[in-house]
Structure 1
Amino acid sequence: MQLHDFTLSGNCYKIRLFLSLLRLEAQLLPVDLQGGAQKSAAFLALNPRGQVPVLVDQGQVLFDSQAILVYLACRYADASWYPRDALSQARISSWLSFAANEAAKGPGQARLHVLFRFPGDLQRAQETARQVLALLDDHLAQHDWLAEGATPTIADLAVYPYVALAGDGGVDLAPYANLAAWFARIRALPGYTGMPGL
């Protein structure tokens, strides 16, 4: 198994985290995003979108972090990570979408502006981030895990990185006690591994 990876990418980190929780080994292949390696012909042959992460497993190439989480859960994890009942899968799908949209466009975008000097409207991204954090904090006041079950699922892993890294984007996490407790539950999982900033 190979993971085309960028250490500071939250999307790559969620895959590294799940692999670690599952005790799965993968060869990490660093991609020089700042040097434009993701736009090279060799990389675009793997992922025409020119994005990391890319997972290669048993000759199959997969991209998009949410899709890779589903693949790993279905292929290698016990069913608690991606339960097979319709209600659980619908709830998880909703949070996977949230990770790719609200979490990416709020705390993820603010982090890009501050940490990587990407152009754009930092104040708007920070305001979106605060809305995202408040929504999550309210949800986690009622539930230990995002999909509302007794154990974590890939929904938690999908949303966790960019939310937990909100401070990198100049967004204060201190007001969100329920988020802090959720972070602690995730970090207490056997096999948890961090990344720079976490």
Structure 2
Amino acid sequence: MKLHVFSQSPNSRKALFVNACLDLGVEAEQVDLASGDQKSAKFLALNPNGRVPVLELDDGSTLWESNAIVNRLCAEVDTALWPKSNQRYDIMRWQFWESCHWTPACSPFIAHHFFGNQDVDLGAAASQIEPFARVLDDHLSGRDWLSGSAMTTADISVAAILCYREACQYPLQAYDNIDRWMDRIETLDTWQRINPVPEPA
């Protein structure tokens, strides 16, 4: 197998984290988004959407969409990150929530602080993120992890975009449960290796 990633991408970092956390040793090949590698015919043959990450399997087939990739990587071993039980449906619930609601709500802050998009209305963006931050914070009240009693791919998927929470100034200061949960994740050696302190462009 091979991972095609852009290491600064939160979605790529999900896959890189699982690969490192489980010591899978899957080769990671960098896709230079700044040079337009994702638009090349070679890459589009792997993912016609032109997005990273992509997991290239041994039989030549490919899997795209980061949350599908992290779950597939976990299937290589027996791991609590992807339990062999109906808990998987609860995990997938949070992964769908992340891709449909959470990451889109965080993205305007990345656009403004990392890419210099001055057209972003930060007040409107704060109003957009607030209801989803409340959902996450309320769910984490009295819990260490999103699903069950240990970290799963639900936590990895939802936390990934928060690797930029300080650099992009997400308005999450009032959400103590999110802070507590992220503090737990950010103390992990693997998280620190995959998510070095970012520098705004």
Is there any run of 5+ residues in structure 1 with no aligned partner, and where?
A: none
Range 45-54 or range 107-116, more displaced: 107-116
Question: What is the rounded CA distance, in whole Å, between the counterparts of 1:128 and 1:52 in structure 2?
Answer: 25
Range 92-101 or range 160-169, more displaced: 160-169
User: Partner of 1:51: helix, strand, or coil?
Assistant: coil
Pairs within 5 Å for 1:1-198:
1-59=1-59, 60-78=61-79, 80-86=80-86, 88-118=87-117, 121-123=120-122, 124-147=124-147, 149-189=148-188, 191-192=190-191, 193-197=193-197
Letter paired with 2:56: V
Alpha-carbon contact 2:54-2:65 (below 8 Å) kept: yes
Range 157-166 or range 188-197, more displaced: 188-197
User: Partner of 1:28: helix, strand, or coil?
Assistant: strand
Q: Report the Cα offset of residue 120 of structure 1.
A: 5.7
Letter paired with 1:8: Q
Q: Deviations over 1:125-160 (max 9, x none)?
A: 33322332222111111321111x111110000000
User: Partner of 2:48: helix, strand, or coil?
Assistant: coil
Q: Report the Cα offset of residue 22 of structure 1.
A: 0.3
Question: What is the rounded CA distance, in whole Å, between the counterparts of 1:166 and 1:135 in structure 2?
Answer: 17
TM-score (norm 2): 0.86
Q: Report the Cα offset of residue 64 of structure 1.
A: 0.8
Q: Deviations over 1:57-116 (max 9, x none)?
A: 3234211101101101222342x2222332x12211110101111121111332133212
Letter paired with 2:29: L
User: Partner of 1:43: helix, strand, or coil?
Assistant: helix
Letter paired with 2:115: F
Question: What is the rounded CA distance, in whole Å, between the counterparts of 1:125 and 1:106 in structure 2?
Answer: 7
Alpha-carbon contact 2:38-2:44 (below 8 Å) kept: yes
Task: Count residues with an aligned counterpart.
Answer: 195
Q: Percent identity?
A: 31
Alpha-carbon contact 1:21-1:189 (below 8 Å) kept: no
Flag the 1:77–1:14 CA change in 2: closer, same or farther, 3 A. Answer: farther
Letter paired with 1:20: A
Q: Report the Cα offset of residue 161 of structure 1.
A: 1.3
Alpha-carbon contact 2:16-2:194 (below 8 Å) kept: no
Alpha-carbon contact 2:108-2:120 (below 8 Å) kept: no
TM-score (norm 1): 0.87
Question: What is the rounded CA distance, in whole Å, between the counterparts of 1:120 and 1:72 in structure 2?
Answer: 38
Runs of 4+ in 1 over 4 A off after TM superposition: none
User: Partner of 1:34: helix, strand, or coil?
Assistant: helix
Alpha-carbon contact 1:32-1:38 (below 8 Å) kept: yes
RMSD of aligned C-alpha atoms?
2.1
Question: What is the rounded CA distance, in whole Å, between the counterparts of 2:126 and 2:35 in structure 1?
Answer: 27
